């Protein structure tokens, strides 16, 4: 099962992240070829870039986040598949849990791929057209082979030159809030702590 690694890392009695077992329900609510970028304040702040491919969210952790400047290529470390409903997850991951910290839905929308994204993913060469609120236009994700690293699954994420490319504009600094709730990371943290306190009251 594809989500085994995802589920193994998490205790769903403790975290409110989705377990990912309700695939039939999801396809009605999540549009096809959905993408999401989650801003994740864990041990280190990073951005999780996720694409709906083959009924899961293929996922990359991008330490420095996406850049609209085509000359800036960002390292994207391929990580375990996440369930489709994870695209809606915004809140806190409790201490002691995998990825403990705060998660924001920073951007989301749909994407198009001229070829079957499943094949492109396998080839390690994805060209996608994003239709998000913050990220738009053509982007590339390319698998790179770092010499001497056997289990390395590093990719590069970068913008291609089009009308949505922007130099000298830091989208991460200009757009800091949730695309869904307009909350800052701090507000999500405060709300999350409150709701956990309520849910543990008996
Ligand atoms: Mn993460």
For residues 144-182, one letter each, b for 16 or more C-beta atoms within 10 angstroms of the residue's C-beta and e for the rest, the string is: eeeeeeeeeeebebbbeeeeebeeeeebbeeeeebbeee
- What pLDDT, on the 0 to 100 scale, is given for residue 30? 38
Structure tokens at 28: 């009605």
pLDDT tens across 143-178, in order? 997 666 667 799 999 999 999 999 999 999 999 999
Give residue 48 CA to ligand 1 midpoint distance, Å: 5
How many Å lie between the centroid of ligand 1 and the Cα of residue 60?
8
For the stretch 57-97, pLDDT in tens is 999 999 999 999 999 999 999 999 999 999 999 999 999 99
Chain centroid, CA 128 distance in Å? 15
Higher pLDDT, 146 or 48: 48
User: Rounded to the nearest whole angstrom, what is the distance from the C-alpha of residue 99 to the centroid of ligand 1?
Assistant: 6
Q: Is the pLDDT of residue 46 over 50?
A: yes
Provide the strand spans (E) within the chain: 34-41, 45-53, 56-62, 74-82, 91-93, 101-113, 125-132, 136-143, 154-159
Q: How far is the CA of 40 from the centre of ligand 1 (A)?
A: 5
């Amino acid at each position: 099962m594809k989500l085994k690694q995802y589920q193994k890392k998490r205790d769903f009695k403790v975290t409110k992240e989705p377990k990912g077992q309700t695939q039939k329900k999801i396809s009605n609510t999540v549009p096809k070829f959905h993408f999401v970028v989650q801003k994740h304040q864990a041990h280190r702040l990073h951005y999780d870039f996720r694409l709906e491919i083959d009924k899961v969210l293929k996922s990359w952790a991008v330490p420095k986040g996406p850049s609209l400047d085509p000359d800036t290529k960002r390292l994207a470390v391929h990580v375990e598949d996440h369930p489709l409903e994870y695209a809606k997850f915004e809140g806190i991951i409790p201490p002691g849990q995998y990825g403990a910290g705060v998660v924001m839905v920073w951007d989301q929308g749909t994407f198009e791929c001229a070829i079957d994204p499943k094949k492109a993913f396998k080839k390690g060469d994805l060209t996608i057209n994003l239709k998000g609120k913050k990220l738009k236009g053509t982007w590339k994700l390319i698998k790179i082979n770092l010499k001497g690293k056997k289990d390395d699954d590093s990719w590069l994420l970068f913008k291609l030159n089009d009308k949505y490319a922007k130099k000298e504009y830091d989208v991460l600094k200009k757009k800091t809030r949730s695309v869904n709730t307009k909350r800052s990371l701090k507000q999500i943290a405060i709300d999350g702590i409150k709701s956990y306190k309520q849910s543990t009251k008996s």
